[in-house]
Structure 1
């Protein structure tokens, strides 16, 4: 099983905050922290729904050592940052580039295999993944869906419940063209 950790989360940023506050009709800064948390949650929900990480984040996936290629769970991968061998006692050491193979697909997928792992039974693969480097670079439907989901969370925080674990229909419609499904 793959274990992923977000090393550097993507902050929504001031433009996202301003656009969402405009959507909600908020003119003061009193609830900025709440709106920022809702935006961060909406970004996570967007990744969960589309199967793609919207904004650039540094990530790490821990994989078992394998001579065959394994596809990373995160998408779209944009760059490899490094690879570490993980010993049975949990200690880590850098793996030389000649000791592994890493391939980026044109669809944003990434494949990894271990050539010479030494005594390691697992490897930690660090990389960046994103659809866009910043808020302005996101496709408008993705951006608007994140804003709408954050606004939905803001408006329903007083106890109104919506369908559990599902984005509102309008948000799902905005994100559906970018949805990637994996067959297990």
Structure 2
């Protein structure tokens, strides 16, 4: 459930420098490649942990139901708007009193309609993510991303050194959120 790599916010130069230091290179000629490797590593981290790293806007389309439904991304920071989407695709913003929302202690966002006005779906816009920028990410996640990007850089020519480093999963595992379907 990851976002396209191109949708990631701009990477700070300090993060690229961390990868350069990790793989022991002292030039900036490969910074574009390192940027791409960092984006891939961050995307893998999100997929592995089941959580969005950086806070960004998300939109979910859900069935129009009066039962509680979970939002797809974690952790939810805030719910911005809820729209009722008709079968023909037209959308209308629902009044706050027409739905209920909750964000539980685990960051799971919940929504339910209080009444149904004939729409078949709802569109929920919300903000989700662990940190507002790269510097605020927990150290284990950040270090795992740097190590994974370093692994990608070191193995960019197709020579595989036996798979990704186990240290990466050890750094990410405490943040992993398992979801049952």
TM beyond 0.5: yes
SS at match of 1:136: helix
SS at match of 1:81: strand
SS at match of 1:103: strand
Where do 5+ consecutive residues of structure 1 fail to align? none
State the TM-score, normalizing by the size of structure 2. 0.88
Contact 2:64/2:113 (8 A) holds in 1 = yes
Q: What is the CA RMSD across the aligned residues, in angstroms? A: 2.2
Structure 1 residues 156 and 5, CA, compared in 2 at 3 Å: closer, same or farther?
closer
SS at match of 2:115: coil
Contact 2:3/2:43 (8 A) holds in 1 = no
- Note the C-alpha offset of 1:161: 4.1
> Do residues 77 (structure 1) and 83 (structure 2) align?
no
Match of residue 174, structure 1, among 160, 168, 171: 171
Question: Aligned residue for 2:25?
Answer: 26
- Note the C-alpha offset of 1:77: 0.6
- Note the C-alpha offset of 1:177: 0.8
Greater shift after overlay, 128-137 or 29-38? 29-38
- Note the C-alpha offset of 1:163: 7.2
Question: Aligned residue for 1:92?
Answer: 91
Question: Aligned residue for 1:129?
Answer: 128
Question: Aligned residue for 1:149?
Answer: 148
- Note the C-alpha offset of 1:57: 1.5
Greater shift after overlay, 74-83 or 91-100? 91-100
Where do 5+ consecutive residues of structure 2 fail to align? none
Contact 1:58/1:127 (8 A) holds in 2 = yes
SS at match of 2:61: strand
CA distance in structure 2 between the aligned counterparts of 1:77 and 1:14, rounded to whole angstroms = 28
- Note the C-alpha offset of 1:12: 3.0
Question: Aligned residue for 2:56?
Answer: 57
Structure 1 residues 4 and 141, CA, compared in 2 at 3 Å: closer, same or farther?
closer
CA distance in structure 2 between the aligned counterparts of 1:62 and 1:123, rounded to whole angstroms = 6
State the TM-score, normalizing by the size of structure 1. 0.87
Alignment: residue pair count: 179
SS at match of 1:128: strand
Q: Deviations over 1:149-180 (max 9, x none)?
A: 1111111121124778xx53110001111111
